[in-house]
Chains A and B, each alone.
Chain A
Amino acid sequence: MPGVLRYNSFARKNKANIKKETGKINNKTKQNMEKEIILNALNLSKYYKYYKSVFDIKRDVIKAVDDITFEVFRNEIFAVVGETGCGKSTLAKLVAGLINKTSGDIYYDGELLDYKDKKKNFRKKIQIVFQDPYSSLNPKKKIYKIISYPAVKNNIIKKRDRLDFAASLLKNVGLSEEILHSYPYELSGGQRQRVGIARSLSVSPELLILDEPVSALDMSISAQVLNLLMDLQAHDKMSYIFITHDLKIVRHIADRVCVMYGGKIMEISPSQDFFKEPAHPYSNILYNSMLPYNFKKQLNFTGLNGKNAGSGLISKEKGIEKGCVYFKKCYASKEICEKNEPPLKDVGDNRMASCFFPFTHPGL
């Protein structure tokens, strides 16, 4: 079994040694402190209430995002990964102010993020790019109107200047001016996504939230759009919150990785450390489920610790009153995991994981 896995046991031992040298850890934490925090979320939650059937009196609760805390540094690409339904898109919409939070706070540049505050106008600073390039552009509007609208709305340009403004934006994202007067249905998926990116850039935001920006595009187009996004980030000194389910993209572009599961953060790690050795058992499963280049290597996690280890959300109906959200699927779980919820805590090397037994590997 260990031959199948990609972690390196030597690396693990080395890390254990480093951990003992506390001085080094302090140095690294200091380095971390020097980075400027652009956005931090404190105990952020979003619950959806719904009636399970017509006859129900009490409403059921889905915890889409449950009590999460994280920070994003200036000029970094912060990737949020997780499977379908883990709450990553909800997180994106919460930060973008498209849905109301249930509890918790978000701070932007040290100020409470409140989109209703007209003076501070956070809409100028934070923008979002959507996943589906087909539904994110209004089919009845011309391209130049679509991409200049945020700038016109936020008084960055005058309405009469919007054609020139739109043309320059199109140039930035590698599109020709010819499509200024086109309607969205005349464009291809890749072009549409570039238009979507141009629209978000029209207010020159400092923080861009990318909600699976390339998952609706095919491989070659997706690579082009990713490269465009990386160029823009480097050029305009933006910060990205990059939501995705594809770890290959994360390895390609992210500075730090945040793994979510069942509305909770499982792990936050610098990208290169994460891809050396994931800390959380779930991250490990996720990491090992990346399609290997050698297809003949079959991954098999069943029978580990007597559990059907793997991903896939646990049925929400049963609900998790206490304990770890990943308890039922985890190969490393012990009694304590069922009773107590592991907090998101420092596991060394600027890494955080919410697990009692980080760096445990299947089969060990």
Chain B
Amino acid sequence: MKELINAFKNNKLALISLTFILIVILAAIFAPYIAPYNPDKINVNSILLPPSFAHPLGTDQLGRDVLSRLIYGSRISIEVGFIAVSISLFIGIIVGSYAGYYGGIIDSVLMRFVDIMLTFPSFFLILAISAILKPSIINIMIIIGLTSWMGVARIIRAEFAQNKEKDYVLAAKAAGASAAYIMFSEILPNTIAPILVSATLGIAAAILIQASLAFLGIGIMPPTPSWGGMLSRGKTYIMIAWWLTLFPGIAILLTVLSFNLIGEAVRDAMDPRYSGKK
């Protein structure tokens, strides 16, 4: 924990990123109180208005307020980011810890399965699956989670393989601890740093994938505001209403960039070569 605080103290960029992410998360939670307009309310009198005091980020082709839609859209992005990553962490930790702890044949079988999963071009796999399944945001989260756990599994496996040889694991064995206790109560807390790093980077990737899918019109049904979807429909009017594409684009860019910067700051802090303490 101390390392984490230091990481942000000494890294301005990471601190700014963290602040931005917190703002986005708060906006997502308190969207109904913050948003100046109902994001779905069509207003024929205010179609394609440029940014003004009444509509800070302008209005779209149906007269809906872009700022309000952006605030509500953050809900989808954050939800997808966190839930998809939770799923991928869950699978990745289970697969990685069993492979790393037991080694041998279990390791070989699980890791070859990971290798096979990695041979699929994951974006097209997601496209194909989501074309078959019912288009819903839950399905999108699950699919993203199911296709992005391989990296986590590999990291966890390496950490477990390294830690299982340490004497504290032998000491737990000598006390009579079960394999499950050793894996999840002794070793897992020592792998929290790489898990945190891959989680933050994973959230950024998941948000980006969801936005791309929404841009292609997959996953989110039209009235629901999402950043990718806004980008997609705004592109028709890009010559006459630049604000329709610019602001969702910036929102995606900043969110993804922030998560990546935070991930890197955490990685630097946890890496013994950067932090002064062992």
Contacts and interface: CB of A to CB of B under 8 A. Distances in A.
Interface of A: 93, 96-98, 115, 121, 123, 127-128, 130-132, 135-141, 149-150, 153-154, 185, 196, 199-200, 203
A339 to B, nearest CB: 39
Contact of A140 (B167, B172, B177, B189): B189
B167 A132 contact: yes
Interface residues of B, number: 17
Contacts of B186: 138, 141
Given A138-B186, A140-B189, A123 B174 contact: yes
Contact of A199 (B166, B171, B177, B189): B171
Q: Which of A127, A137, A138 has the most B CB atoms < 10 Å from its CB?
A: A138
B168 A137 contact: yes
Contacts of A132: 167
A128 B174 contact: yes
Contacts of B278: 185
Given A98-B174, A153-B176, A154-B176, A135 B190 contact: no
Interface string B180-200: 000000100110100000000
Q: Which of B166, B170, B176, B189 has the most A CB atoms < 10 Å from its CB?
A: B176
A97 B172 CA distance: 12
Nearest to B192: A140
Given A93-B170, A135-B168, A150 B175 contact: yes
Contacts of A137: 168, 171
A136 B175 CA distance: 13
Contacts of B173: 97-98
Give the interface SS of chain B, mostly helix, strand, loop or mixed: helix
A164 to B, nearest CB: 19
Nearest to B178: A153
Interface in B110-164: none
A11 to B, nearest CB: 42
B174 A96 contact: yes
B21 to A, nearest CB: 26
Contacts of A130: 167, 170-171
A135 B190 CA distance: 12
A138 B166 CA distance: 9
Sort A-B residue pairs by CB-CB distance and give the 6 closest, nearest first.
Answer: A150-B175, A136-B167, A140-B189, A123-B176, A130-B167, A138-B168
Give the interface SS of chain A, mostly helix, strand, loop or mixed: loop
A328 to B, nearest CB: 32
A106 B51 CA distance: 83
A154 to B, nearest CB: 6
A128 B192 CA distance: 28
Contacts of B166: 135-136
Contacts of B167: 130-132, 135-136
Given A128-B174, A137-B171, A139-B168, 17 more contacts: A93-B170, A115-B176, A121-B176, A123-B176, A127-B174, A128-B170, A132-B167, A135-B168, A136-B170, A138-B168, A138-B189, A138-B190, A141-B186, A150-B174, A196-B171, A199-B175, A203-B175
A264 B256 CA distance: 61
B172 A149 contact: yes
A233 to B, nearest CB: 19
A244 B40 CA distance: 77
Contacts of A149: 172, 175, 177
A128 B174 CA distance: 7
A98 B175 CA distance: 10
A210 to B, nearest CB: 13
Interface string B267-278: 000000000011
Nearest to B176: A123
A115 B186 CA distance: 21
6 contacts: A135-B166, A135-B168, A137-B171, A141-B186, A153-B175, A185-B278
A123 B278 CA distance: 32
A153 B189 CA distance: 19
Nearest to A152: B175
A136 B168 contact: yes
A205 to B, nearest CB: 10
Contacts of B176: 115, 121, 123, 150, 153-154
Q: Which of B171, B177, B186, B277 has the most A CB atoms < 10 Å from its CB?
A: B171
A240 B63 CA distance: 84
A115 B168 CA distance: 19
B161 to A, nearest CB: 15
Contacts of A141: 186, 189
Given A131-B167, A136-B167, A138-B168, A97 B190 contact: no
A123 B167 CA distance: 17
Contacts of B170: 93, 98, 128, 130, 136
B193 to A, nearest CB: 11
Contacts of A140: 189-190, 192
B177 A153 contact: yes
A96 B173 CA distance: 9
A26 to B, nearest CB: 40
A154 B171 contact: no
Interface in B28-62: none
B202 to A, nearest CB: 23
Contacts of B172: 138, 149
B276 to A, nearest CB: 13
Contacts of A115: 176
A136 B163 CA distance: 11
Contact of B171 (A97, A136, A139, A203): A136
